[in-house]
Each structure stands twice: as structure tokens, then as C-alpha cells.
Amino acid sequence: MTPELMRTRGAALRSRGGDAPGTEGSGGRAAGYGRRVQAGELDLAHGTILYLEDITVSFDGFKALNALSLDIRAGELRCIIGPNGAGKTTMMDVITGKTRPDAGRAFFGSTIDLLRLRENEIARAGIGRKFQKPTVFEQLTVFENLELALKADRGVRAAMAFTLSGEQADRIGAMLELIHLKASAAQVAGSLSHGQKQWLEIGLLLMQDPKLLLLDEPVAGMTDEETERTAELFLSLEGSHSLVVVEHDMKFIAELTRAVRPDAPAKKVTVLHEGRVLAEGPLAQVQANEQVIEVYLGR
Ligand SMILES: Nc1ncnc2c1ncn2[C@@H]1O[C@H](COP(=O)(O)OP(=O)(O)OP(=O)(O)O)[C@@H](O)[C@H]1O
Ligand SMILES: [Mg+2]
């Protein structure tokens, strides 16, 4: 499928996503210019979806993050690279509330203080995270996995009584296409390839309608073809979602940072090293940076 086609399908999915359960009072679907934002609602009026300032995390005196600052724009697809131990996963742990920093500030939109929220509250506010290892329900079919993601947050009793509306079934159908699993809808998730499981997990995340997606090494272990399709998928989400993608696969990074429109400004890549930003800018620029070559890319 071409990126253009996928983008169209993504838009169709989004327009149908307005009644997704579990996102009430958050997610900021309608938040934006020209209307007042309510407390706890995502406020994107200033264009920033994620703001980290001087975040420091110490483990027994060792600074895994050392005054890390980061600014992600709404709709941006930001790639983060850097050597092992640079603090990339720790940064995601801070954003999702898994790890509390010793110092610094972290905001989702301009009003939601992430350091005051618990993990489940952060997820409900609209931040979805994909871990490296896929976590899907292996015994259920692909379709049932997505159905369950729709029912999430309803509680057991409500989930059992829940029947899919036509609109919700359509939404699952559109998601199956987006994640390239239409032909495998009736297949048990445990029998999928590693790459397909990763896509299913991304689909499960997307069913919750997150505004910001954090993806930690999403193409690790994928075949070249699966990696290319994953890049297409992420590019189709750009704009409607904000994505922070951590990867070591530079070919994948090059694909993600490629301009989808000729007039689009170059996407930024952030290089983390020793818990802070070493360099940030268009891929070609960070690839030519002497320090980046020294600590990460090699000669
Ligand atoms: N819970 C913890 N306790 C002690 N040290 C930790 C903990 N979590 C992370 N670290 C250390 O913090 C540093 C940053 O780790 P982190 O996992 O964030 O790196 P990373 O950039 O994600 O690396 P990789 O590319 O290998 O995934 C490492 O030195 C790691 O050993
Ligand atoms: Mg990591």
C-alpha cells in the first residue's frame, strides 16, 4: 500500500474514532485553537505536545538522565537515536510515569503536569507506549484482540455485555487494514510472525486513540520488508498523531525522516548521549556532527 493510500485510510479511522471508550475527559480530541480548554484536557494551543525540561534521573548516584530537555510539536514524528545506555528508555519511563525524576519538569500539552500523574492516568490522558517485546493476547484471534482493546476500561461486567456496534466493527476493520492484518483477522495472535505481532500491538494502542505514541525499538527483530511497512505505517500516522520513535536501525530512521511532501520542513532527529541531548536537527546534519560520529555512528 502506498503511504498516500495509508494516510487516507488513517484519516478515515480517525474520523470514526470520536466515540472510543476510555478517553473521556482527556485526549484533547477537540482541544485546539479557538475554544477554551478544560482542566485536565490536552491543550495544544502553543503547538507543543510534549515538553521536558532539565529532567534528571539518578540510579545510585549514576545519572541515567542528566538535565534532559526535549520539545515535541503536535503532529511531529521525532526520531531519537543514541548509544546503548544513553537514557532513551529511561526517558520513556519518565514520560509514562514509570520512573519519577529527581529534578525537572514534564508537560503533556501546556497544562498537564506529567510528574503529578500516575501511570494509568498518563495513559488515559492520551500517551500510548509500545515496549520492545510485543504483548498481545496470544490465544485470541487478531480481531478479538482489537475488540478487547475497544472494550478496555469498561470493567468486566460491561465488557461481557458489550456487543459491537456497526461503527465499532468498521473501526476494527479499518484498523486491520492500517496494520496490514486484514487477511489474518481470524488467526490466533500466537501464530503471527514477530513483525505481525508488533503491528497488532500498535493497533491495540491505536484503538485507545492516543495523541502521543512512544515507540521503543519498534523494528527490532523485523525482516527488511516488515521494517519498510512499519515505516509506511508510522508515516501515515504523522500529523494526526505525535510519535517519538527510538531506534538503532539507521535505514529505518532515514525512511522515517524522508519528506512526505516536497515542501515539508526537514524532520528533526535527536541524539541522546549520557542522559542528555548531544545533537538535534535534520538527519544529514546530525550524521555530519563530529561528536555524534565519535560516540555513536562511527567513521
Ligand atoms: N532501574 C535501573 N536501575 C539502575 N540503573 C538503571 C536502571 N534503568 C536504567 N539504568 C541505567 O541507566 C542507563 C540508561 O539506560 P537506558 O535503558 O535508558 O538506556 P537506552 O538508551 O535505552 O539504551 P539501549 O539503546 O541499550 O536500549 C544505563 O546505564 C542503565 O544501565
Ligand atoms: Mg532502551
Mean pLDDT of 276-284: 97
Tens of pLDDT, residue by residue over 93-123, are 999 999 999 999 999 999 999 999 999 999 9
- How close is the Cα of 64 to the center of ligand 1, in Å? 6
The CA–CA distances, whole Å, from 37 to 28, 73, 168, 232 equal: 8, 18, 28, 33
Residue nearest to ligand 1 atom 30, measured at CA: 85
Q: Residue 132: CB within 6 Å of ligand 1? A: no
Relative to beta strand 77-81, strand 103-108 is unpaired
- Are the C-beta atoms of residues 69 and 259 closer than 8 Å to each other? no
Q: Which helix (H) or strand (E) holds 72?
A: strand 62-73
Which pLDDT value is given to residue 32?
A: 42
Other beta carbons within 10 Å of 100: 9
- Are the C-beta atoms of residues 216 and 131 closer than 8 Å to each other? yes
Q: Residue 52: CB within 6 Å of ligand 1? A: no
Distance CA 73, CA 239 (A): 10
Does 150 or 51 have the greater pLDDT score? 51
Q: Residue 66: CB within 6 Å of ligand 1? A: no
Which pLDDT value is given to residue 115?
A: 97
Nearest ligand for residue 100 CA: 1
Which amino acid belongs to residue 134?
P
- Position 19 pLDDT exceeds 80: no
| Ligand 1 atom closest to residue 86's alpha carbon, by position in its atom list | 21
Relative to beta strand 276-282, strand 268-273 is antiparallel
Counting beta carbons within 10 angstroms of the beta carbon of residue 177, is it exposed (0 to 12), middle (13 to 18) or buried (19 or more)?
Answer: middle
- How close is the Cα of 229 to the center of ligand 2, in Å? 22
CA proximity to 98, closest of 49, 64, 71, 136:
64
Choose the residue to mutate in 52, 65, 79, 88 for probing ligand 1, maximizing ligand atoms within 8 Å of C-beta: 88
CA proximity to 260, closest of 4, 80, 1:
4
Ranges 152-156, 225-229, 263-267: which has the least confidence: 152-156
Nearest ligand for residue 81 CA: 1
Report the percentage of the chain scoring pLDDT > 90: 70
- Position 13 pLDDT exceeds 90: no
Q: Residue 130: CB within 6 Å of ligand 1? A: no
* pTM across the whole model: 0.84
Contacts of 121 (CB under 8 A, 6+ apart): 97
- Position 73 pLDDT exceeds 50: yes
Does 215 or 239 have the greater pLDDT score? 215
Q: Residue 59: CB within 6 Å of ligand 1? A: yes
- Computed over every residue of the chain, the mean pLDDT equals 86
- Position 4 pLDDT exceeds 50: no
Q: Is 280 helix (H, G, I), strand (E, B) or coil?
A: strand
Does 14 or 20 have the greater pLDDT score? 14
- Position 241 pLDDT exceeds 90: yes
Per-range mean pLDDT, top range of 120-134, 152-166, 227-241: 227-241
Residue nearest to ligand 1 atom 8, measured at CA: 90
Q: Residue 58: CB within 6 Å of ligand 1? A: no
Please report which residue ranges of 39-118 form alpha helices under DSSP H: 88-95
- How close is the Cα of 94 to the center of ligand 1, in Å? 12
Which pLDDT value is given to residue 159?
A: 59
Tens of pLDDT, residue by residue over 135-183, are 899 999 999 999 998 876 555 556 556 677 888 889 999 999 999 999 9
Choose the residue to mutate in 70, 81, 84 for probing ligand 1, maximizing ligand atoms within 8 Å of C-beta: 84
The residues whose Cβ lies within 5 A of ligand 2, an ion, are 88-89
Domains of the chain: 3-25+76-98+123-297 (3.40.50.300)
Which pLDDT value is given to residue 94?
A: 98
Other beta carbons within 10 Å of 181: 22
**Dihedral angle over CA of 166, 32, 106, 17, nearest 10:** 10
Which pLDDT value is given to residue 162?
A: 66
Which pLDDT value is given to residue 17?
A: 37
Residue found under cell 477554551: 36
